[in-house]
Amino acid sequence: MEIETQTGQTGTTPAQLPQTMPHGTRNPGMDLDMDWVMRARVNRSAVERRASSLPGRRSVKKSHQAAWLARAISCIDLTTLAGDDTPGRVRRLCAKARHPVRTDLLEALGLQGLTTGAVCVYHDMIETAVAALDGSGIPVAAVSTGFPAGLSPMYLRVQEIEESVKAGAAEIDIVISRRKVLMGDWHGLYDEMRAFRAACGDAHVKAILATGELGTLTNVARASLVCMMAGADFIKTSTGKESVNATLPVSLVMIRAIRDYEDRTGIRVGYKPAGGISKAKDALTYLALIKEELGDPWLRPELFRFGASSLLGDIERQLEHHVTGAYSASWRHAMS
Amino acid sequence: MTVKEIFETMDYGAAPESSEDALAWLVDQGSRFGHFIDGAFTAPGTERFESANPANGEVLAEISQASPKEVALAVAAARAAQPGWAGLGGPGRARYLYALARLLQKHARLFAVLETLDNGKPIRESRDIDIPLAQRHFYYHAGMAQLMERELPGRAALGVCGQIIPWNFPLLMLAWKVAPALAMGNTVVLKPAEWTSLTALLFADLCRQAGLPKGVVNIVTGDGAVGAALVEADVDKIAFTGSTEVGRKIREATAGRGIALTLELGGKSPYIVMEDADIDSAIEGLVDAIWFNGGQVCCAGSRLLVQEGIAERFHSKLRRRMDMLRMGDPLDKCIDIGAIVSPEQRDRIARLVESSDGTVYQPGTGPVEGCFFPPTLITGLEPASPLMQEEIFGPVLVASTFRTPEEAIQIANNTRYGLAASVWSENINTALDIAPRLVAGVVWVNGTNMFDAAAGFGGLRESGFGREGGWEGLMAYTRPEQAAEPAAAIAPFEGETSEPQAVDRTAKLYIGGKQARPDGGYARDIHDATGVLIGQAPIANRKDVRNAVEAARGASAWSKATAHNRAQVLYYIAENLAAREAEFAARIDRLTGGSGGMAEVQASVDRLFTYGAWADKFDGDVRSVPMRAVALAMREPCGVIGALCPDPFPLLGLISVMAPAIAMGNRVVLVASEPFPLAATDFYQVLETSDVPGGVVNILTGSHEELAPTLAAHLDVDAIWSFSSAPVSGVIEKAAAGNLKRSWVTHGTGRDWMGADGDGRAFLDAATEVKTVWVPYGA
């Protein structure tokens, strides 16, 4: 009898993952591999079963829960993407990103200096945000390429990226052309993503798939692969403007694609679910999903972000409950 | 660890479910239990054993070992209560079943925690699967009780049911057994497994709270000796879930007693992954297939068959998934694999894994105290490897590969078992081609271990017989309202041995579509009522049985023929028989010394038309299961059916047995009426001219008592029927234990072959197996 044994399943974060540098090894992309793309198949029922049973299989309590929730905060792209955004509104958001949790609570938890992962705004608000976050190390992400529909002329979309990078955005959240997915134009999608990636220069690029508009989970898997092959540093579910945003089944499909991509290329691509995640409990479930399917390296802002605006408030209340033992109220925590 | 440290490590930490209430309940009961007989707990017995928590060895309570006298008391209580319970009527019983369902729901967490303490399964499973499913069974069968009188006219309760259940799903198996039995008006004596009696005893407490009439549910505890006593007791049915080995003993012990029996036994269920499957989902499915309840599941997908081209990648992804499985305290809400039920079982699993010639992979799970065994994958095995054949009943997955869908089916079916199977493919053509061809009572397409009260569950081959759940499950707890009359033996006519026939016609056996002389070379003289010789009938021996079964096995194309085609053949037989009506009528009158020959022939023609009509109408159906899935209850032929035909009505009897069997796609080996065999040997001429493919119908003549044991013991016969007047019922049931084939015998009763009793659904049910195919869907 021959026995192979794997020891130590948990393992802390490997050293090669820099904790302080927000931008690690980037995904250079690869040639479009259509065989691989077309081999991707997703069984919706099985994926939904996995997603629905996960919250019952994993549970974190007490100190662990507090720590996980703090980790969730560190992964939040605190976001405002509204037509009525003003510099004042954005400065308030940035202040919250610097101080996401009341100081006394952070001290009680021993997590002084905790910040959100990034601030995410429209192009016009980049300069305000960069100024407001100066010295904090918090990157500014800008949505781009005719967000949210992505239907403006291609050259304008590319120019918009270039303008945003020039304005100081360290991360660009692009939207893909959904019609290319729906029509099976994978080459077109690849070329588009390649162009966006090139326009980003040193800024990291997150590809928003708008999964709520892609029709099937198999399309989600294929679009994920194509965008990674074209060099996306992150893949992201939604703009927050579709009728269905991030869901666990969609997340499962996307992170499994990320896992396959790492298997094949050795490159770790990040994941960002966005929209619809507003409860602390949901955040824990997402983190557990990431831990289970991708592993601990992804439980860091370098490889995982929540695109969320109201999630933080619920987490703050849970953290105060952890510290004091009493259930909290929203007005006890600073608004963003 | 501080929050800051955990913030870096992102470990899960402990998430224990409290056991306080469950332990308090045990203390309230005095931590010692007697039996639940006639509505009350008996005092704890003098002979007791400990029930321990397998995760940490702590003793939970002391359980009493029932004496044969106590078993008899329980059976007597059930016997006394049964008429009243049945007399309450379906709607009356339904109220109690609803009450039990609601009580199970109200005390759900107490049951879940107690189950996990006693059995060692993860709290997630007892909380999210076992207990909710148990509730569902009581709700579903409350509805069946409500509908019984209207929907099952002519069916009555069996009486007292002895039920013996295993330790892997203690409360759920109780629910599977008790709910349908009570719904149909039976009373029960249940014996839980000795390692896991506690939730059954808590359920007894619930019966009291529900005000269930005394004696309707009785629970006796103890080891196999108590089970054996229950099998020996004055019961009308035994329902058993457990090992094939014990099931076989029960089949032998109940043989000839005229009591009903259902057996849900072991398995080595295949888990087939085609190259076009959703690989990640198929791997996740394995977690639910073989690591659910630590693989201590009779229908566990324990034999992984992966298409060769993707096998290496699949296995490596699987190993990575295994690394993420968490084993430990079953009460921890963050645990995938709990404890093995007992040290004996753990050691048995370890021995089997030790003996393997494959490559063994076990993830490092860290040191775990208590009775645990890590998730294990053994790759590089072939069908001939012992571990590909033998049930391990632990968290051990054995793996092999295949090249084509055809080969996948062959390897999957290359087993003595036939309980469940999974097939993963994103191609609907592939999946729906493979699923029906797997020899299994349950098939999951792109899924595994899905259960529901509305969908029948049960096995083929050495996985047992009978179904639990659905309408088919009720057949196992009811009998025809009208009791059958005892049958009289019919002796052949004696006479002189002269040769009166002008032109000799040699009657032969009919095997594989050809007339065949008997292997032994002997024949028996057949006389008419006046003692005149009318011919000789061949005396078949065991080799003729062998040849006939071989021919029947070879005629497998018949089972795949369309129902329309089979109907056409039946109509054709009927036409050809009708054309020779007068000749057959005369023959029958001469053989039997009666005058009903013409009526019998006409009834035979009619019967053929009846089953020609049924051939494409005895449909399966689609069950309402609580998920987005189609659960198909398909009617499939049993395969090869051996049947001893009735002695009276030499033509009608044979046709009444043959026609339903072949209409449903079976192939048959018929042993003709013993005193009057020549109608059958005339009849094969009709078959020869009616496009019946060779081997579909095989006819032997000879001694029923001599041929019955050989036919019943034949391991390639899938079901055995006997309508013989000879006292062979017990012999057949005993011999059928060999491959645990289904048997249908008379126990000395007769049947009105000319009347409505002579055909219909009872025959069609016996000629088919219900296979449940689960097809979850979603674009």
User: What is the value of ipTM here, to two decimals?
Assistant: 0.94
Sequential DSSP letters for A266-331: SPPPEEE-BSS--SHHHHHHHHHHHHHHT-GGGSSTTTB-EEESSHHHHHHHHHHHHHHSS---GG
pLDDT score at B502? 62
What gap in Å lies between CA B286 and CA B55, rounded to an integer?
Answer: 24
What gap in Å lies between CA B165 and CA B173, rounded to an integer?
Answer: 6
Half-sphere exposure (Cβ direction) of B381: Cα atoms closer than 13 Å: 30
CA angle B738, B743, B748 (to 5 degrees): 120
The SS3 assignment for B115 reads: helix
Chain-chain contact of B4 with A299 (C-beta, under 8 angstroms): no
What gap in Å lies between CA B564 and CA B156, rounded to an integer?
Answer: 34
For B533, list phi and psi in degrees, rounded to 5: -70, 130
Of the candidates B463, B475, B525, the residue with the CA atom closest to the CA atom of residue B500 = B525
The SS3 assignment for A58 reads: coil
Hey, is the C-beta of B284 within 8 angstroms of any chain A C-beta?
yes
Burial class (CB in 10 A: 0-12, 13-18, 19+), A334: middle
- Residue A216 and residue A224 in contact, taking contact as beta carbons nearer than 8 Å: no
What gap in Å lies between CA B560 and CA B562, rounded to an integer?
Answer: 6
pLDDT for residue A4 is more than 70:
no
Hey, is the C-beta of B315 within 8 angstroms of any chain A C-beta?
no
pLDDT score at B484? 87
Q: Comparing A187-196, A259-268, B265-274, B367-376, which segment has the lowest mean pLDDT? A: B367-376
Strand B768-776, strand B742-744: pairing:
unpaired
Sequential DSSP letters for B29-67: TTTEE--EETTEEPPPPSSEEEEE-TTT--EEEEEEPPP
pLDDT score at B217? 98
What gap in Å lies between CA B736 and CA B505, rounded to an integer?
Answer: 36
pLDDT score at B339? 96
pLDDT score at B498? 66
Tokens (6 digits) for B558? 């018949």
pLDDT score at A309? 87
Nearest CA in chain B to A221: B278
Hey, is the C-beta of B11 within 8 angstroms of any chain A C-beta?
yes
For residue B448, give how far its alpha carbon lies from the nearest alpha carbon of chain A (Å).
10
Of the candidates A115, A124, A116, A121, the residue with the CA atom closest to the CA atom of residue A79 = A121
- Residue B73 and residue B241 in contact, taking contact as beta carbons nearer than 8 Å: no
pLDDT for residue A7 is more than 70:
no
The beta-carbon neighbor of A44 closest among B5, B128, B778 is B778
Indicate which residue of A233, A272, A282, A314 is catalytic.
A272
pLDDT score at B366? 66
What gap in Å lies between CA B517 and CA B506, rounded to an integer?
Answer: 9
CA angle B382, B297, B376 (to 5 degrees): 50
* End-to-end Cα spacing for chain A: 61
pTM of this structure: 0.95
Chain CA centroid to CA B696, Å:
25
pLDDT score at B505? 80
CB proximity under 8 Å: B 376-435 to A: 424, 426
The beta-carbon neighbor of A1 closest among B282, B324, B354 is B354
Q: Looking up tokens 């009426």, which residue turns up?
A: B673
Q: Which residues of chain B have pLDDT under 70?
A: 365-367, 497-503
The beta-carbon neighbor of B11 closest among A44, A48, A64 is A64
pLDDT for residue A3 is more than 60:
no
Which domains does chain A possess? Answer: 34-52+61-327 (3.20.20.70)
What gap in Å lies between CA B86 and CA B152, rounded to an integer?
Answer: 14
CB proximity under 8 Å: A 256-315 to B: 256, 287, 291-292, 296, 299
Indicate which residue of A96, A180, A206, A236 is catalytic.
A236
pLDDT score at B499? 63
Chain-chain contact of B776 with A46 (C-beta, under 8 angstroms): yes
Of the candidates A131, A291, A275, the residue with the CA atom closest to the CA atom of residue B12 = A291
- Beta strands across the sheet bearing A306-308: A270-272, A234-236, A204-208, A171-175, A140-143, A118-121, A76-79, A306-308
Q: What is the mean pLDDT of residues A274-294?
A: 97
The beta-carbon neighbor of B3 closest among A8, A109, A216 is A109
Instruction: Give A20's pLDDT tier (boundaries 50, 70, 90).
Output: very low
pLDDT score at A12? 37
Check residue B17 and report its DSSP letter: P
Hey, is the C-beta of A20 within 8 angstroms of any chain B C-beta?
no
Return the exposure string of A99-136: e unless at least 16 CB atoms fall within 10 Å of the residue's CB, then b: bbbbeebbebbebeebbbbbbbbbbebbbbbbebbeeb
Radius of gyration of chain A (CA): 19
Chain-chain contact of A45 with B319 (C-beta, under 8 angstroms): no
Chain CA centroid to CA B215, Å:
28
pLDDT score at B504? 72
pLDDT score at B427? 97
Chain-chain contact of B124 with A7 (C-beta, under 8 angstroms): no
- Residue B443 and residue B771 in contact, taking contact as beta carbons nearer than 8 Å: yes
The beta-carbon neighbor of B278 closest among A43, A70, A109 is A43
What gap in Å lies between CA B734 and CA B250, rounded to an integer?
Answer: 10
What gap in Å lies between CA B593 and CA B529, rounded to an integer?
Answer: 5
Q: What is the mean pLDDT of residues A186-209?
A: 98
Is-catalytic flag, A236?
Answer: yes
Tokens (6 digits) for B143? 């509805």
Instruction: Give A10's pLDDT tier (boundaries 50, 70, 90).
Output: very low
Instruction: Collect all residues of chain A within an 8 Å Cβ-Cβ radius of residue B284.
Output: 46, 50
Indicate which residue of B70, B264, B468, B769 is catalytic.
B264
pLDDT for residue A5 is more than 50:
no
The SS3 assignment for B701 reads: coil
Of the candidates A331, A319, A307, A325, the residue with the CA atom closest to the CA atom of residue A142 = A307
- Supply the angle between the helices A311-324 and A280-293 in degrees, to the nearest 10: 100
**Diameter of chain A measured on Cα atoms:** 69
What gap in Å lies between CA B12 and CA B7, rounded to an integer?
Answer: 11
- Supply the angle between the helices B563-579 and B581-592 in degrees, to the nearest 10: 70
Q: What is the mean pLDDT of residues A109-128?
A: 98
For B173, list phi and psi in degrees, rounded to 5: -70, -35
pLDDT for residue A22 is more than 70:
no
Q: Which helix (H) or strand (E) holds B161?
A: strand B160-164
Of the candidates A45, A65, A8, the residue with the CA atom closest to the CA atom of residue B778 = A45
The SS3 assignment for B261 reads: strand
Instruction: Give A103's pLDDT tier (boundaries 50, 70, 90).
Output: very high
- Residue A37 and residue B396 in contact, taking contact as beta carbons nearer than 8 Å: no
Is-catalytic flag, A84?
Answer: no
What gap in Å lies between CA B3 and CA B10, rounded to an integer?
Answer: 10
Instruction: Collect all residues of chain A within an 8 Å Cβ-Cβ radius of residue B362.
Output: 3-6
The SS3 assignment for A146 reads: coil
